[in-house]
Amino acid sequence: MGLSTGCCPDLPSGRHVIHGRVFKGASDQDGNHNSDGTLREIPWVAIEPVVSAVRVLEKIVPDGSLLFDSAAHTFQHTRPSDGTSLGYEALRARIEDFVTWASQQALA
């Protein structure tokens, strides 16, 4: 949920990877906890549907933002970004709503 825009670059090889951050155990040069996290040493390999989902999210949120920025995905009211991701409960509810909507569309 800490992925940001640009995390899945188009590579000449055609193979897609996702670069993310590690927060647990992330520390700065002085050994202090780094709340911004550190870049994962090994990116995840991504299949085309995941890449497509990342591209859609990149169109929704501003450049340099988290893909799951809570401000960008709060539709009831507009609020400034505080740089936090959606919580697990909010994400779960949105996925359930999407599944319900997709099921209704499939039956129509």
Residue 66 lies in a domain: yes
Confidence of residue 27 (pLDDT cuts 50, 70, 90): confident
Kind and range of the H or E element at 38?
A: strand 38-39
Residue 7 lies in a domain: no
Q: What 8-state DSSP symbol labels residue 2? A: -
Question: For residue 45, what are the β-bridge partners?
Answer: 17
Residue 59 lies in a domain: yes
75-89 mean pLDDT: 63
Residue 4 lies in a domain: no
What percent of the chain has a predicted confidence (pLDDT) above 70?
Answer: 83
Mean pLDDT of the chain: 81
Backbone angles phi, psi at 66, to 5 degrees: -70, 140
Residue 8 lies in a domain: no
Residue 52 lies in a domain: yes
What range defines the domain where residue 29 resides?
A: 16-107
pLDDT, tens digit, for every residue of 33-73?
A: 888 888 888 999 999 999 999 998 898 887 888 888 777 66
The Cα–Cα gap between 72 and 74 comes to: 6
Number of domains in the chain: 1
Is a pLDDT exceeding 70 seen at residue 84?
no
